[in-house]
Copies of this chain bind each other. A is one copy, B any other.
Amino acid sequence: MSEPIHAKFLPVIEDALREHWNDALAQSPADLKEMVAYHMGWQGPGTTGKRLRPIIILLVVDACGRDWIHALPAAVAVEYLHNFSLIHDDIQDVSRQRHGADTLWVRWGIPQAINTGDLMFTLAYAALLNSREYYPAAIVDDLLQVFTQTCLRLTEGQHLDMLFEKQESLTDSDYLNMAGGKTAALLGCCTAMGAILGSMTHKQVESLKAFGVNLGLAFQIQDDILGIWGEQAMTGKSSTSDLASGKKSLPIIHALNSSPAFKTAWQTDHSSPEAIKQLLVLFEQTDSHAYAQSMVDTYTQAALSALNDAFQSDPAAVKPLESLATQLLKRKL
């Protein structure tokens, strides 16, 4: 099998991240610099993330026929933004492990981890402002607007996610509103920023943003399906099932709203291995699995259709992005 199209970007992204980290924190306390390096997977036992978000920006700029090297500051910015949100999420969700290592708050305590998250948020803006080196002020202003609106959506999504944990009854639209503010908002930000840097028209920017948002929703719902019926969830320990964690994912919300039997069982016990086995049987009597799968298909189609809209005048340009979307949904990335 040939090398995936985005393989060429990875080492360049990693170098750009490390270079920015090194320059921006040249005068900073050594411990603080180390905390960022630890979370990014450059020091300590952890591995680096997939760098999916910067890859998407660079792929879009490349597809627009522009020099993707100039988009590196924006690519670095979205990776920092993603990692800032992971650091704070891990505290909020009491997650102790990420990328094969203790999370930042486990290693350095909650107060320092909150602060390092804030630093990474700042570094995201610092990196984005470096786009001025290659682009006119109007482009950078557009980037800043999209980026800042995305940060707003991310905090809204995170707020709802935490609120929903405690909320008895939820609808599909509650879920979509929440999910739209998380992965979907950030992927939409990446594709929109790539389009802006690719000098696309306003209409094309909107289409590419829709590509990212819909791809993000498809990805998120597929994640929900794997969280219940994925190999790990089905065959592994109960702790790998979203049922056990009480996560309000789309299939669960749908089953709770459509099957009183499922609701009663779920409310009684959803975390013991026996309860999970029983809930999986009750799931079979609902159409929740098929419903969630149909939502994945719907959002995937919407994503690909928006992608084709954006590149009507250059259909060949969609290929690498189409291929990325496919790999992403097949969990091969």
The answer, yes or no, to whether A32 is at the interface (CB within 8 Å) is: yes
User: Contacts A28-B152, A116-B159, A122-B148 given; 11 further ones with Cβ under 8 A?
Assistant: A29-B163, A31-B159, A88-B114, A92-B110, A112-B159, A112-B162, A118-B158, A119-B156, A121-B121, A129-B144, A144-B144
How many residues of A are counted as interface, with CB atoms below 8 angstroms from the partner's CB atoms?
42
Interface of A toward B, CB cutoff 8 Å:
24, 28-29, 31-32, 88, 91-93, 110-112, 114-119, 121-123, 125-126, 129, 132, 137-138, 140-141, 144-145, 148-149, 151-152, 155-156, 158-160, 162-163
**CB-defined A-B contacts under 8 Å, sample of 22:** A29-B156, A29-B159, A32-B155, A32-B159, A88-B115, A91-B110, A91-B111, A91-B114, A112-B159, A112-B162, A114-B117, A115-B155, A116-B159, A118-B118, A118-B121, A118-B151, A118-B158, A119-B156, A126-B149, A129-B144, A140-B141, A144-B144
Residue of A28, A114, A149 with most partner-chain B CB within 10 A = A114
Chain B residues within an 8 Å CB radius of A158: 115, 118
| A118 nearest in chain B by CB position | B155
Tell whether, in the assembled complex, residue B115 and residue A129 are in contact, meaning their CB atoms are under 8 Å apart.
no
